[in-house]
A = this chain, B = another copy of it.
Amino acid sequence: MKALIVAAHPDANSLTAALKDLAVRTLEAGGHEVVVSDLYAMKWQSAADFTDFDGITGTDFMHASGTAYETGRLAPEIRAEQQKLLDADLVVLLFPLWWFTVPAILKGWIDRVFTYNFAYGAAIPRYGDGPLAGKRAMLATLTGGRAGHYTPRGVNGPIEDLLFPLNHGLLHFTGFDVLPPFVAHSAVHLAPEAYADIAAQFRQRLTTAFTTDPLPYRSESGGDYTALTQPGGSELAPGLETPGTSGFGLHLAG
């Protein structure tokens, strides 16, 4: 199978960088082909702007990006990343958790690569049957805080909920089967044995990445939501919720 690892850390000696190398070795040892987008090493441009569209302006930024995609006029580095996504069977986004989400450079990869008409659009199904359906994706993130700060009652909020905009709003939205995230807490100034623990856990997640059950997110195209075009449409259909759930948890079946 083919794997794409997208990594984002400014320090080539960071834990993120070490886990990136570990991921390459582990997946290659499993017989997979691995491509890496190391965003800092690539000096990836973060800010999405009209210079990506080869002179296309149009009426608004979103539709200009879609026109540029449709006509092959997107910046070459964006087309290259889109092709990597299309080629991949597994995508791993590997990053330190900065202010409870991805670093800007990785947000810029998302903003610029997941364009209108490629990743979403008026005629493109979302949440369960999107353009990247059939592929798997996994977030792998490192936090500086203690695990207890990210529990259901933790002061930062539950890590599953903090990652929902990425897991559900980006990956599930565009069709991926989304694996449970790999999360390592207290990932600052690690003692060797703590690193060995994290490395072993990450290796285990990578070797099972093609067999692990994905998160049971619901399907918009499959009828779990009221019709998009109704007033108040695209809401979870009555009675589907697991009793006792609310908020983001509603969107997990079973």
A→B interface (CB under 8 Å): 9-11, 14, 39-40, 44, 46-50, 59-62, 98-105, 107-108, 110-112, 114, 127, 144, 146, 148-149, 151-158, 161-162, 164-165, 168-170, 188-189, 220, 225, 231-236, 241, 246-251
Given contacts A62-B188, A189-B60, contact A155 B235 (CB under 8 A): yes
A sample of 27 inter-chain contacts (CB < 8 A) reads: A10-B47, A11-B60, A44-B47, A46-B46, A46-B107, A48-B105, A60-B189, A62-B188, A99-B107, A99-B114, A99-B169, A99-B170, A102-B107, A103-B107, A104-B104, A104-B112, A108-B108, A148-B232, A153-B236, A154-B234, A155-B220, A155-B225, A155-B235, A155-B236, A157-B168, A157-B248, A247-B249
B111 lies within 8 A of A98 (CB): yes
| Contact of A108 with B104 in the complex, beta carbons under 8 Å | yes
User: What is the count of identical protomers in the complex?
Assistant: 2
Q: What's the Cα separation between A249 and B39 when bound, in Å? A: 35
Minimal beta-carbon separation of A245 from chain B (angstroms): 8
Which of B107, B155, B232, B234 touches A251 (beta carbons < 8 Å)?
A: B155
Residues of B within 8 A of A149 (CB): 233-235
> Shortest distance in angstroms between A78's beta carbon and chain B's nearest beta carbon?
13
